[in-house]
Amino acid sequence: MRIFRKYWLMVWEMAVAEFRMKDQGTILGFLWTLIHPLIYFFVLYGLFRKWMGHHISNFPLYLIIGIVQWGFFCSGTTSCINVIRNNGQLIKSISFPKSILVFSSVTAVLFSHLLELGILLVFWLIIGENVGLTAIGLVPILILNIYLILGVSFILSVIGVVFLDIQRIWGIFTSVGLFLTPIFYSLDLLEPAKRKVILLNPMAHIIQATRDILIDNKVPEFGGILYVLIVATVIMAAGYTLFRRNEGYFVEKI
C-alpha cells in the first residue's frame, strides 16, 4: 500500500509505543506474550494427547503451530476493533490517513507474534523430526497471514465505530473458531462433508501450510495457498474500500 510506504515511520513509532504500553505496569510485562500460548498448549496437550497423539505424528509441534497461528489472527483482528475510538483525540487533532491506525495496531501485534514464532522454532528444533532450511518458507506464510488480518481488521475497525457490541461478538466468533479450525485435531478424522466446511476457513490452510513446512519438510499445497490469497484479496478490497468511504465520518461518530 502506498500509504504504508509513505507513512511507514509513523506506523513504526505508533506500533512500538502500543507494544510497550500493552503490558506496562504488569509484573511479568511482555512475558505474558509468551505465557499465553504456552498455557493454551499445556491445557490442550493435556486434554488431547492420549486421543490425538495416536492419530497425529509429532502432536506437540502440530499443536503449538495451530495455537500460534490462530492466536496471531485473533489478536491482530481484535486489536483493531476499537482502534478508531481509542485514538479519537489524535484523529480530532491531527490530519493523517486513518488507515495508519490499523496498520500500526496490527504491526504491534506482529511484534508479539514474532516472539511466539520464536517459541515455535524452539519447539521445532527440540522435537522436530525434519530440521532443515524449510523454516524460510514461514516468511511468505507470515505475509499472507498479515494480509488476511489487515483485510478483516479494516472491516472490524469501521463496525467498531458504530456498533460497540462487535468486540463481544467477535470474541465469541474467535472462541467458536478455535474448534472450527484444525488446531488440536486432524482433518483426516472428519467426514468429507465436514472437512470441506472446515477448509472454507482460510486460517485452516495457513496452519496446514505451516505444518507442511515445519513437520513434513515439504512445500505447502499450491491450491490452499492460492485459495487464501484470493479470499484475503477479496476481504482486503472490501475492507479497505469500506474504511476509506467512512474515513471522513470518524470524527463525527466517535
Q: What are the extents of the domains in the chain?
A: 2-253
pLDDT tens digit sequence for 30-82? 677 778 888 888 898 888 888 887 788 889 899 999 999 999 999 999 999 99
- pLDDT band for position 129 (cuts 50, 70, 90): low
Q: Which residue has the higher pLDDT, 105 or 250?
A: 105
- Long-range own/partner contacts, residues 225-232 (CB < 8 A, 24 or more apart): 225/144, 227/202, 228/144, 228/148, 228/202, 229/144, 229/147, 231/148, 231/202, 232/144, 232/147, 232/148, 232/151, 232/202
Taking the whole predicted model, whether its pTM rises above 0.75 is answered as: yes
* 149-173 confidence digits (pLDDT tens): 999 999 999 999 988 899 999 999 9
- The H or E element spanning position 93 is helix 88-93
pLDDT level of residue 26 (50, 70, 90 thresholds): low
pLDDT in the model for residue 154: 97
